[in-house]
Structure 1
Amino acid sequence: MSEVFERYERQYCELSANLSKKCTAAGALDGEQKKQKISEVKAGIDEAESLIRKMDLEARSLQPNVKAVLLVKLREYKSDLNNLKTEVKRLSSGGNYLSARDDLLESGMADTLTASADQRSRLMTTTETLNQSGNRIKESKRTMLETEELGVSILQDLHQQRQSLLHANNTLHGVDDNVGKSKKILTSISRRMNRNKWIIGSIIAVVIVAIILILYFKLK
């Protein structure tokens, strides 16, 4: 549903209801007061026609499935406006009827007026329902956007946690590499120490043998 069309529609329904009240009030007046009230109604009818033209232009610019629904509603609004025009003409004829109600009854327009009022009431109810539906749709969109933002935030947190885990994993690999290198160095040192022990032991053994030989030759 077009927001522009809905705005024009609300304005028309409010204006139509106001004009209907003014027509009823004009039927109970006489003289200049009645003429003034009829002039106000005629000015309102001009404004209502302008709103209907705007709604028609807006409806025809929409997609075919939406346009078809809105054009049906426009026909109802045009019929409602024609009833208002007929009522104004009857009031402007200046007959000698005692009241606008008697005038409508005698001319067979009472049923039309009642039907028009019912039609306006249904249209206003429909408009209110459409507005509520539009508000619910907007609320749903807002909830969807909030959910989407929450999802994006969760994904960002998960990405950061993944990066942290990858960093920790890389750090562990680095530690493992360092431990491996340290183990190799310690093994190498251990081997050198064992080799040095054998060398020192051999030297000591040679020295002892030499001392024994020297003592032996001296004593002999």
Structure 2
Amino acid sequence: MSEVFESYERQYCELSANLSKKTSSVSYLDGEQQKQKISEVRGGLDEAEALIRKMDLEARGLQPNIKAVLLAKLREYKSDLNNLKNEVKRIASMNLNQAARDELLEAGMADTLTASANQRDRLLMSTERLNNSGNRISESRKVMLETEELGVSLLQDLHQQRQSLLHANNTLHGVDDNISRSKRVITSISRRMSRNKWIIGAIISVLVLVILLILYFKLAK
């Protein structure tokens, strides 16, 4: 067997064992540590693949019986290396999926917080509108009460004015009645005075006639 092949084989076995340990420990890491460890493992995988290519070139230059044995080993090494690659891909994919889930969760939380903030703003605006509406209703009610009080006051004033007008009307009717009675009394007095004038005139005439008669009889004697 070729010493060069054995040297490459020894390096590969050590590197493969180291990569297997690192791959096993990657699952227990998270975040940046896991990413760093996966990067180291991928670098080791590239180095292991380079060693397998060197062993393949070395084996193909040897005698057929030795080459067949070495190529059989290389197939095992290649299968082992592919298994390591698949394991690293699986872990990296899980890491990406977890990161994607975290991003989705963060985005969902952000959307939830944004929705909550928007909902809170809408509630505050609705509450403010309700408060403004309540204030307007209170002001309208206050104006309505003031208007009602003013209307009641006006009705009371109108009622008092109506009472005053009715009283004045009654007073005028009373004055009119008094004037009518006074006119009747004056008319009656005037009629009596006229009648008394005629009576007095008649009495005076009778007295003058009597005096004349008395004087005539006296002179005739």
Normalised by the shorter chain, which TM-score bucket? 0.5 to 0.7
Match of 2:62 among 89, 93, 96: 96
Q: How many residues align?
A: 155
Structure number with larger C-alpha Rg = 2
- Work out the CA distance in 1 between the residues paired with 2:63 and 2:85: 26
Alignment correspondent of 1:217: 182
Alignment correspondent of 1:135: 100
Match of 1:152 among 112, 117, 127: 117
- In structure 2, relative to structure 1, the CA distance for the partners of 1:66 and 1:122 (3 Å cut) is same
- In structure 2, relative to structure 1, the CA distance for the partners of 1:127 and 1:70 (3 Å cut) is closer
Worse-superposed segment, 90-99 or 131-140? 90-99
Question: What is the TM-score normalised by the length of structure 1?
Answer: 0.56
Alignment correspondent of 1:47: none
Unaligned runs of 5+ in 1: 1-63
Alignment correspondent of 1:41: none
Task: Judge conservation of contact 1:101–1:110 (CA < 8 Å) in 2.
Answer: no
- In structure 2, relative to structure 1, the CA distance for the partners of 1:142 and 1:97 (3 Å cut) is farther
What do residues 100-127 of structure 1 show as CA deviations (whole Å, max 9, x unaligned)?
A: 663255xx66654443222112111112
Structure 1 residue 193 displacement after superposition: 1.1
Unaligned runs of 5+ in 2: 1-28, 186-221
Question: What is the TM-score normalised by the length of structure 2?
Answer: 0.56
- In structure 2, relative to structure 1, the CA distance for the partners of 1:133 and 1:172 (3 Å cut) is same
* Partner SS for 1:96: coil
- Work out the CA distance in 2 between the residues paired with 1:121 and 1:81: 13
- Work out the CA distance in 1 between the residues paired with 2:32 and 2:127: 51
Higher helix share: 2
Worse-superposed segment, 85-94 or 165-174? 85-94
Task: Judge conservation of contact 2:56–2:74 (CA < 8 Å) in 1.
Answer: no
Match of 2:127 among 162, 176, 185: 162
Alignment correspondent of 1:80: 45
Task: Judge conservation of contact 1:104–1:110 (CA < 8 Å) in 2.
Answer: yes
- Work out the CA distance in 1 between the residues paired with 2:106 and 2:32: 24
